[in-house]
Amino acid sequence: MTATPSTAATSVPPSLPAAATSTPVPTPAAAATPSVAPSAAEASAPPSPPSAAPPSATELPGYDTPQGHFFPANLGSDPNAGYWVYDGGQARFWSEYQRLGGYAALGSPMSRRYQWQDWTVQHFANGVLRWLPDQGQADIVPLEQVGNPPPEAVVVEPPPLVQGEAVQKPWSGWWWPATTKVRPPHLFDAQGPLAKYDHYVQARTGWDPGTLAWERSELFLRAGGPSWAGHCNGWAAAALIEPEPTAPVQVGDETFSVDDQKGLLSDFHFADAALWLYGGGDDGLSPVDFHHQLITWLARDGRGMVLVFNPGGEEIWSYPAYRVQIVSTPDQTDPDVTHVKATVWMADNNVPANFVGLKNYPSDQGQTFEYALRGDRASPDSGVWEGASARGGFSRPWEIWYPEPSVRNVGRLLASPNLDYTMIREILAGGPSDTTTAGGPGAATSGSAPQD
């Protein structure tokens, strides 16, 4: 429906091609990708396991997972990390842990799985589980016989169940089509948000900013354009970072409806660059990058992101994501493979233009994406889409990004240079404050969109 945003110069993978669309595309800002502090699972491990829970404790700590149980290590650096006891990778340690006495006999795990001599083993507080492949079961080896696990084995693991939500939820809004093939409202309508903006600014300053004429000249596709072309990426960016307009405002002799206000914000943020961007181009989005941003940016840091789908050709659709739930399951035969189901909740743009609130896309159950990761779950080496997500199109995201509103119109004008953010905020506030500087020729770049 819209063109894909360009990413910040250093935050995009090298040689990332821009998507070709007939709708304007935001260009990346020259900003570095935000650094993300490594989790405990990614940090260096201590030389010996953390202290054990009292062997006399009977209540099983942690929580059940598909095919196993996860024991948080309760380390200050990452209280959610710990050790996973599971059936998979050709060793049924969770089943054997229970058969051999469970928590009362073995206590909590003190390491990941690792290779000791010719066996796969896992340390526990009161003994070491050793998998015996010829017998299809495990036995318990005394701690003193095995000794301390190697340093890499006591690095705590990321939790197999992860969920999180953005601190600021997005709002649903109209996607402002760029052609009359699609029902109104449009930004280029004679009584639309840009017409009202121009009228208000001229009455306020004596100067006509001409944003409506610019939109009609530069972005209006008339009858020949594709019906999917519009401003959904501008809406998605605005919905992530702007407070939602919820009621009409009277400013001077103009009344700006909820959809007028959302339209101005969507048009302004249509020109945003990307603070970071992954995917796009011929190869689309890697499951490794998707998983990393879900875990760190959304679940850990509580910040939303834009998911972009490519159903085919140049057509793309953007949706702001705000909530995630991730369930990891070990592969039954390959110990280096983890299967992941990530359910993501997004805001919908298939709503009336004056809609207020959040309507979930595609439903209140969110959308589940399936992929497999190879390597350490904290820093996997590679990944593949699987299950329903292997089909492409709307079954998985083609690109993800986050807006950088302080860098706009990079490489190409995507919104009128006379669309002033300070003036938009003045309109949304219901009129000028004592500190507002009136716009005029040369003042259209004053003010800045919210940063977080």
Angle at 178 between CA 175 and CA 181, to 5 degrees: 100
Q: What would the mean pLDDT of 407-425 be, rounded to a whole number?
A: 94
pLDDT at 26 over 70: no
Which among 220-229, 398-407, 427-436 has the top mean pLDDT?
A: 398-407
Contact indicator for 319, 159 with CB cutoff of 8 Å? no
Number of domains in the chain: 2
Mean pLDDT of the chain: 86
As given in the structure block, the two tokens for residue 196 are 């009202």
Residues 144 and 184 in one domain: no
Residues 285 and 192 in one domain: yes
Omega before 362 within 30 of 0, i.e. cis: yes
Question: What residues contact residue 102 under an 8 Å CB cut-off, 6+ apart?
Answer: 60
Q: Where among 99, 132, 157 does a domain terminate?
A: 157
Residues 268 and 143 in one domain: no
Residues 344 and 377 in one domain: yes
d(CA 313, CA 20): 9
Residues 140 and 178 in one domain: no
Q: What would the mean pLDDT of 411-430 be, rounded to a whole number?
A: 95
0.85 surpassed by pTM: no
Residues 343 and 310 in one domain: yes
Residues 180 and 63 in one domain: no
Residues 325 and 190 in one domain: yes
Q: Where among 139, 157, 175 does a domain terminate?
A: 157
Residues 113 and 213 in one domain: no
As given in the structure block, the two tokens for residue 299 are 């679940």
Residues 200 and 326 in one domain: yes
Residue 168 lies in a domain: yes
Residue 435 lies in a domain: no
Per-residue pLDDT tens digits for 247-256: 999 999 999 9
Task: Please report which confidence band the pLDDT of residue 225 belongs to, taking 50, 70 and 90 as the band edges.
Answer: confident
Query: Which of 300-309 are b and which e, b meaning 16 or more Cβ less than 10 Å from the residue's Cβ?
Result: beebbbbbbb
Q: Closest Cα partner for 72 from 103, 45, 44, 110? A: 110
Residues 118 and 238 in one domain: no
Residues 230 and 263 in one domain: yes
Task: Please report which confidence band the pLDDT of residue 154 belongs to, taking 50, 70 and 90 as the band edges.
Answer: very high
Q: For residue 99, what are the domain limits? A: 53-157
